[in-house]
Structure 1
Amino acid sequence: MHSKLDLAVGHLNAAVGTVIRAEDLARALREGSVANLASGPEAPLVRGLLHSVFVEIDPALILSCAREAQSDWQHAHQLYTESLADGLPRVKAWEQLVAQRT
């Protein structure tokens, strides 16, 4: 049986091949940032894919991934905020989920 992190990463990698790993998404969700992930020529792609999680993945699955990564919705929301600063669009479903928790 695959983990929720594996499911999310599989979806994010679908169009580009294996670029990110479940461990990368877990770390981003724990840290609330992609700043410490990847260096070198693939870094922008890795960071972009991880930021796109909010656009590509259902909020409930993101929360499951955060729990599996031993993180919480607050750190996931930090990652979301970082994705907005990186130019990704707002995601109403994620914002509604967060509003229910505050």
Structure 2
Amino acid sequence: MGGQLYESELLFNKSIDLIDGEMTKINNGEWRLLEELIEKKNEQESRINDANIAQPPLFAIQVALAASLVSWNIYPSFIISHSAGDEAAAFVAGRLSLKETV
């Protein structure tokens, strides 16, 4: 999930790394975003079906993708979100800082 963009798009990569650093601080290194998001795991090792693990990578991809689009001069006219996407939308809209959002 997001692995190809992480490997090919520098800003996407930097955004994911930044979010990974913030999330690692908050969860005291209990798990790493990059491990769940980028590293290839088999079904038995992956915890992506656990909502506590799945939602942070989704947030990270949404934020990194938005940053990449803006870097390509593609700006949203409006932002719509639902449920777990609310935090990413608030961050992308400039309503929350990364630290507040994570």
| TM-score tier (shorter) | 0.3 to 0.5
Structure 2 length-normalised TM? 0.35
Tell me: higher relative CO, structure 1 or 2? Use CA pairs within 8 A at least 6 residues apart. Answer: 1
